[in-house]
């Protein structure tokens, strides 16, 4: 993992990639409301929640791909994309843990990694560096978790479909969590190197 500046190619706000990221952000509270409806006496709306998660996964893939293909990488997009990813992961963790589909320990493992990243971002800012750009490992971890969460939500039922969803859902969850922490360790190593380099230069 290297802290690097992706070349900004446009200052426009209303680009297709940015609109996709904004839509993903808007869907975060919608998804959380849908998944928690049964907990507050409402009807089960897991089908709609699954559609919201599917949209998140597809838009997450498209916004980065289109931004590069159409030369629409922007400063706003570099903020929106990871923010939408993390908010979706956070809202999904809250919803699935509340529904007791995810165990508390699993949620704690992923939230601990987010806490580590927040600390690293704070240290980088103190030394005048921007937040680290998302690398391949981080993206791979996010993709695995985006596959895992819909499958685990689908596993909250009975029958062969729920059984297969649980098997593949936990497989993706395991891979995603491992990659998530691996990327986090690389963040820590990179930040330590930068801090040491600054101390030597000073």
With helix as H, strand as E and coil as C, how does 140-183 read?
Answer: HHHHHHHHHHHHHHHCCCCCHHHHHHHHHHHHHHHHHHHHHHHH
- Give the whole-angstrom CA distance, residue 91 versus residue 25: 11
pLDDT at 2: 38
Tell me the CATH class for 16-201. mainly alpha
Domain boundaries, given as residue ranges, for the chain: 16-201
pLDDT at 59: 78
- Indicate the average pLDDT of the chain: 81
The sign of the CA dihedral 13, 18, 20, 23 is negative
> For the chain, how many residues are written?
202
Residues of the chain with pLDDT under 70: 1-13, 67, 70, 72, 74-77, 132-134, 201-202
pLDDT at 4: 42
pLDDT at 9: 58
- Name the token pair of 130: 């921007």
pLDDT at 165: 92
pLDDT at 106: 93
pLDDT at 77: 67
Angle subtended at Cα 143 by Cα 47 and Cα 58, rounded to the nearest 5 degrees: 55
Q: Are 12 and 5 in contact (CB under 8 A)?
A: no
- Name the token pair of 67: 């931004």
């Amino acid at each position: 993992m290297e802290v690097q500046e992706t070349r900004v190619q446009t200052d426009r706000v209303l680009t297709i990639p940015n609109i996709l990221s904004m839509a993903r952000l808007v869907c975060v509270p919608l998804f959380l409301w849908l998944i928690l409806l049964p907990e507050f006496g409402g009807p089960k709306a897991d089908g709609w929640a699954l559609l919201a998660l599917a949209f998140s996964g597809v838009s997450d893939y498209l916004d980065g791909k289109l931004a590069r293909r159409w030369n629409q990488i922007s400063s706003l997009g570099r903020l929106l994309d990871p923010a939408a990813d993390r908010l979706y992961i956070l809202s999904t963790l809250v919803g699935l843990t509340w529904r007791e589909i995810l165990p508390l320990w699993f949620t704690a493992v992923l939230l601990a990694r987010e806490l580590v990243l927040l600390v690293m971002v704070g240290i980088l800012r103190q030394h005048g560096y921007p937040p680290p750009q998302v690398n391949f490992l981080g993206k791979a971890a996010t993709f695995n978790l985006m596959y895992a969460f819909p499958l685990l939500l689908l596993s909250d039922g009975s029958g062969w479909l729920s059984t297969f969803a649980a098997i593949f859902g936990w497989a993706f969850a395991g891979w995603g969590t491992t990659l998530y922490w691996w990327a986090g360790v690389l963040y820590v190593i990179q930040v330590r190197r930068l801090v040491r380099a600054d101390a030597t230069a000073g």
